[in-house]
Structure 1
Amino acid sequence: MEREHAERFEPLPGRAGHVGGIESLTFDGHHYYFGFDYGSDIVLSPLIGDPAAMAAFASAHMRQTTGAHDRDHWAGLVDAATGRSALAAGADLAFTTEGLRGDLPEPGSHLLYLLGAATGWDDWFGESPEARRACERLGLDDEDPEFIDQCLTEVRDHGVGARPDDWTVVRLHLGAAVRHLPGNWGILFAPLAEGLANRS
């Protein structure tokens, strides 16, 4: 049974064998678990809704500082992560299709952190010269991880039409983040991209 559970989910590309722990979130009321490398701030697994499958996946594809562990060890960590997180708390752990589609992320939010961690903190401005030029006009350093927070603040406070360069950065940066999400992360968080397109 453990092998069947593990084989239901493939490791994310290049992330098998990492040292990490178990994190969780809810999406439209459904609970999901995922592996997380706290040392590198990267997501290690797809979003897995079955606790037994998460434990089996972790046993097959993850490690801890003490080495490999069996399913029972990981099952305890999965249970401890249910409804809790070392990364965020409370409402920050809950996402909905309606919320992603209808609201822009809060600056500095757990959502923005998860987008970066799931994509491996990739830099997408190479594929978006328009966003890079908008950053330059705004005097922003696109290598500063907080540049998106400033643009989101301006757009949320003043509106899309009043801050076209800030909106360009937000729209293209977050849209690229969703496109680069691995595995079923991209499926669940696709409504964020839909919401961005509806505002344009």
Structure 2
Amino acid sequence: MSTPLLAAFILFVFFVLLRAAWNRYRVRGASTGVPSLFDLLPANVAGIESIQLDGRWWYFGFADDFVMSPLMDDIDAMAAYAARHLRQVEGAIDASAWRALAEESRAESHLASLERRVIDLAGLKAAPARLRAAPGPVPELVQATHLHYLLMSNTGDQDFPDPPPHVRDAFVRLGLELDDPSGSFELGLEILGGTRSLPEGASLQDAASGVLWLWDALIELQGWDWAVTLGLRPAR
């Protein structure tokens, strides 16, 4: 291999490894100890968003369809975390400025209306168990569409696993796409919510199987310990 080609190959490998390291960092969460090299990169530019769960406000960093922080119900802790790990476009700002942004996020979001950001978390957690017991309407699961979006955004670049054969068959009968987990999840919920008709040859059991498999996989792929914080999965 010629010297220029070797240099190009080494440079390519370096950038592939750098991108993989950044994706792992952004998906799984930043260290709370010694600041990471990636804390200094422009990719940490983000804002603060918020959701209300069972009457309590929670805050998190968010940018470009990526969750950028743990989910926190302490606004001062969120501001301190953002001051350490996140940046605004104009550069670093202090915790007091981040706190002001967090306060503003309750009234105005760049992602969703206030109505969509107020979520019945207790009902949401109970819905999958009810769906496992008997396929049928699951309004609490259907209505939490904004939280579904955030959970999908919190998987980073991780791929969903391959479904078992019975789920794959259910996807085929429902006309859902295995390579579009987010779209298939929403379509499955619309069927269970009664706003979309079942395709000919499909059943509510098919819809329940597809949605539950996607839900379980989604919870397993959560970064920043969101699944544990939300009580959707026990700590390991």
Shorter-normalised TM range = 0.7 to 0.9
The answer to whether 1:13 aligns with 2:50 is no
Match in the other structure for 1:140: 176
Instruction: Answer yes or no: is the 8 Å Cα contact 1:125–1:132 preserved in 2.
Output: no
Once the two structures are overlaid, the 10-residue window that deviates more, 147-156 or 130-139, is: 130-139
Match in the other structure for 2:186: 149
**Aligned match for 1:179, one of 181, 196, 220:** 220
User: SS in structure 2 opposite 1:141?
Assistant: coil
Q: Aligned residues, how many?
A: 181
Give the TM-score of the pair, scaled to structure 1. Answer: 0.75
User: SS in structure 1 opposite 2:91?
Assistant: coil
The answer to whether 1:64 aligns with 2:64 is no
Instruction: Answer yes or no: is the 8 Å Cα contact 1:92–1:109 preserved in 2.
Output: yes
Within a 5 Å distance, the mapping from 1:5-154 to structure 2 comes to 13=28, 17=39, 18-37=44-63, 39=64, 41-100=65-124, 101-102=126-127, 103=138, 104-106=140-142, 109-120=145-156, 122-126=158-162, 128-144=164-180, 145-154=182-191
How far did residue 92 of structure 1 move? 1.5
Instruction: Answer yes or no: is the 8 Å Cα contact 1:19–1:62 preserved in 2.
Output: yes
How far did residue 126 of structure 1 move? 2.1
Using the aligned pairs only, state the percent identity: 32
Query: Which consecutive residues of structure 2, in runs of 5 or more, have no partner in the other structure?
Result: 1-25, 31-37, 128-137
1: distance between equivalents of 2:89 and 2:170?
A: 43
How far did residue 107 of structure 1 move? 7.4
Instruction: Answer yes or no: is the 8 Å Cα contact 2:75–2:102 preserved in 1.
Output: yes
TM superposition outliers: structure 1 runs of 4+ over 3 Å: 14-17, 127-130, 188-191
State which structure, 1 or 2, has the greater radius of gyration over its C-alpha atoms. 2
Give the TM-score of the pair, scaled to structure 2. Answer: 0.65
Query: Which consecutive residues of structure 1, in runs of 5 or more, have no partner in the other structure?
Result: 1-10, 194-200
RMSD value, Cα: 3.0
The letter for the 2-side match of 1:114 is L
Once the two structures are overlaid, the 10-residue window that deviates more, 124-133 or 139-148, is: 124-133
